[in-house]
Structure 1
Amino acid sequence: MGDVTSASATPSTPARPRRNRRAEILEAAARLFAARGFHGVPIEEICGAVGVSGPALYRHFSGKEALLAEMLLDVSSRLRESAVAVATSSPGPEQSLDALLDVQITFAIEQPALITVHDRELGNVPEPHRRQIRRLQRLYVEEWVTVLAELHPTCPAARLRAAMHAVFGLLNSTPHSAGELAGGDMRPLLRVMARAAIDAAVNAR
């Protein structure tokens, strides 16, 4: 058998771009952290899940804590950016609320591992990254509160804020129901439940 490394061998698949490899590492780490916890997953296992060496992983991240920090910073930033885009492009508050629900429901259905990691492991993110994550999350909530305030101008902002935290808790319960309903069935169910929760909160006496 000829040398598979020779020039006459069939060319191998080109190396993935670095940005894709970085994303693969983050995705694999999220799955592993969600399944066994941050402290239960050695860095070598993350490397094995992605097919990279330790030195290759350390070219992207200085260690597990840095990896966890970027994972949660990235998703918090993307959610906030999506909310801002919705707020600036929708013709009115009703459409903005529909679009915001789409953003959060899509995240809840497609990223249950990230939800689990955030709930369990935020305390393992070093400062100041944890403060940055919290700040991005507050800004995300305020995008929702601004839209709801347009729809319900007589409802106190504190109540709207509390309502949104409750709605996020409802929507982000998807890791506990994974596999029980297909995404196509879960999406309208979550939308109806979220709308009902918002209406109940703003109309409570």
Structure 2
Amino acid sequence: MSSATDAPADAATARDRAKAERRAALLTAAAQLFAERGFPRVSLDDLGAAAGVSGPAVYKHFASKQAVLAAILVGASEGLLAGGRAVVAGAASDRAALEGLVAFHVDFALGNADIIRVQDHDLDSLADDDRHTVRALQREYVELWVDVLARLRPADARPALRTRAHACFGLINSTPHSSRVGARAARSILESMALAALTA
């Protein structure tokens, strides 16, 4: 049985949840608009309208339009690195780790086409510190793959393995621009092609 003192806490939790949901909706809308129009051609009013709030209400969640862009791109890079680390940590073998990384990245690409487009077109619109953060996170993510490849291909130099990893990302990340076959077919094609490229 809840007491009267639980009510304020429950209300605060509901408010926090609603705020988090609104923030997530703004980021989803922003990624779609930035992908379609490009960062410079989207206003805060556009973002608010797409998420069902007024333009000024966006400031309750983000200090500026550039902060929205940073939340999208830094957040995506943080998510990739954390997810990649979890895949490797939970894998029973190096081969399983590589297969898991490929499947993880394919899932990301198929589920976040707008973010990949924004990354391609608008990375340079980030503030310098945010851009450096994204690049540093991306380098760590690449090296995670290279570490796994190095255990599977000990005779290969790390620069060569890094080239393989980047080529694999290029293959997988091209899907938002070219895939028309449906997610299930695209996933199968991409995973088999990526593994073949990495292990050839």
Fold agreement, TM-score > 0.5 = yes
State the secondary structure of the residue aligned to 2:83: helix
| 2:196 matches 1:193 | no
- CA drift of 1:197 comes to 1.4
Once the two structures are superposed, what CA deviation does each residue of 1:27-72 show, in whole Å capped at 9, x if it has no partner?
Answer: 1000000001001111101100001122321011111111101110
State the secondary structure of the residue aligned to 2:187: helix
Partner of residue 159, structure 2 = 158
Partner of residue 170, structure 1 = 171
**Which has the greater radius of gyration?**
1
Work out the CA distance in 2 between the residues paired with 1:143 and 1:24.
31
State the secondary structure of the residue aligned to 2:181: coil
Work out the CA distance in 1 between the residues paired with 2:26 and 2:77.
18
Work out the CA distance in 2 between the residues paired with 1:142 and 1:17.
37
| 2:164 matches 1:129 | no
Work out the CA distance in 1 between the residues paired with 2:111 and 2:87.
19
Instruction: State the superposition RMSD in angstroms.
Output: 1.3
Q: 1:198 is aligned with what amino acid? A: L
Identity of aligned residues (%): 41
- CA drift of 1:118 comes to 0.2
Runs of 4+ in 1 over 2 A off after TM superposition: none
Work out the CA distance in 1 between the residues paired with 2:175 and 2:100.
19
Work out the CA distance in 1 between the residues paired with 2:196 and 2:66.
39
Partner of residue 63, structure 2 = 62
- Which stretch has the larger CA shift, 49-58 or 111-120? 49-58
Partner of residue 9, structure 2 = none
**TM-score of the superposition, structure 2-length normalised?**
0.90
Once the two structures are superposed, what CA deviation does each residue of 1:124-148 show, in whole Å capped at 9, x if it has no partner?
Answer: 0002111011000000001100001
State the secondary structure of the residue aligned to 1:58: helix
Partner of residue 109, structure 1 = 110
State the secondary structure of the residue aligned to 2:128: coil
More helix by share: 2
Partner of residue 32, structure 1 = 33
Work out the CA distance in 2 between the residues paired with 1:55 and 1:116.
26
How many pairs are equivalent?
186
Q: 1:112 is aligned with what amino acid? A: A
Work out the CA distance in 2 between the residues paired with 1:57 and 1:41.
13
Q: 1:122 is aligned with what amino acid? A: L
Q: Unpaired segments of 5 or more residues in structure 2?
A: 1-13
Work out the CA distance in 1 between the residues paired with 2:99 and 2:76.
20
- CA drift of 1:96 comes to 0.4
Q: 1:30 is aligned with what amino acid? A: A
